[in-house]
Amino acid sequence: MTPLPRISWHRGGAELAPYATLAAFSSAAAHGAELIEVDVRRSADGVMVCAHDPVVRGLGRLDRLSWDELSEARPGPGRVASFTELLDALDAADPARRSEVHLDLKEAGFEAEAVAAVLERGRRLVVTSSDTAVVAAARRAHPRVPALLTLGHDGSGLRPGELARVRAHELVPFSDLEQCGASGAAAHFLLATPLLRRWCTRRGMQLLVWTVDGDAALARWLARGDVDVVTTNRPLAASSIRERLARQAP
C-alpha cells in the first residue's frame, strides 16, 4: 500500500489552543504531530520570531521593532514568541524529538541560521518559502534539508491584472522549481494540479498541499498517493480521517 500523506499542523493547529501560540505548538508536539508548521521572521535587532504577518497589530512593522519592544508590549499567551522559545517549548513537550518542524521562512537573509537552530536541537525539518532566493539559500547552506517552493501568492497589493499573471505563472512553476534547486513544491490546494503532481512524482520531488480544512477536502487529499504532506488547521480531524482511509484500503 502506498503511504498516505503526512499531516502538518498549520501554525500548531487550531483545535487544542489558539493557533500560532506557544500553547498550540506545545500541544501539537505533545500529541505526536508529524510536522508542526511555524512562520519565522526577524525583529529589527535580528531576533528570529514566530510571526506570519509583517505587521504586528497595535505595534507596527515587525522589522522596525526590537525583541524587547515585542516581548514587553505583548505579555501573555498571545504575544509574539521568539524562535528559541518555540524550540524550547517543543523540546519540553516532545523530548524524544518525534515531531518534525515545518519551517516557513517569510523573509530572506537568515536561512542558514534558522535551519541550524533546528538541527542543533536534534530535530528534523522541512523548509518552505515563496521566495526562490530563500529556497536556493537554504539548499546551499544545508543540502540535506528539504526546501520546498511555496506556490500561492496571497495577492495583497496586486492589481487584478498583476494577480492574474502571478496565478498563470504559478500554474507552470517548473522553471522556478528547477532554478532554485527546490526539493519540491508546497502548493495551495487550488494549484496542486494533476500536471504539478505528475511532474513532482516523476522527479522524486516532494509535494505539500496547503491549507486543507473541510472534511471532504481532507478525505480527498489524504487519499492521494502523489501527495507527501497535507497542511491543515484541523490536524486531529485529519488524523481521524486518515485512519479511516487506511482501514478502508484494500
Whichever domain contains 96, its CATH number is 3.20.20.190
Asked, for residue 239, whether it belongs to a domain, the answer is no
Cβ atoms 23, 245 nearer than 8 A: no
Q: pLDDT tens digit string along 135-158?
A: 999 999 999 999 999 999 776 777
Identify any residues that bridge with 229 across adjacent strands, giving them in sequence order. 6, 208
22-26, 44-48, 88-92, 155-159, range with the lowest pLDDT: 155-159
pTM: 0.95
Q: Is residue 243 part of a domain?
A: no
Q: Is residue 211 situated within a structural domain?
A: no
| Burial 159-192, CB ≥16 within 10 A → b, else e | eeeeeeeebeebeebeebbeebbbbbbbbbbebb
- All three cell numbers of 11, joined, read 501554525
Per-residue pLDDT reduced to its tens digit, 97-139: 999 999 999 999 999 999 999 999 999 999 999 999 999 999 9
Say if 62 falls within a structural domain.
Answer: yes
Our count of domains for the chain comes to 1
Q: Evaluate whether residue 213 is within a structural domain.
A: no
For residue 177, the enclosing domain spans 7-184+195-202
Burial class (CB in 10 A: 0-12, 13-18, 19+), 75: exposed
Does 119 map to a domain?
yes
Domain assignment of residue 236, yes or no:
no
Tell me the β-bridge partners of 105: 40
pLDDT tens figures, 217-247? 999 999 999 999 999 999 999 999 999 999 9
Determine the 3-state secondary structure of 210 from DSSP. Answer: strand
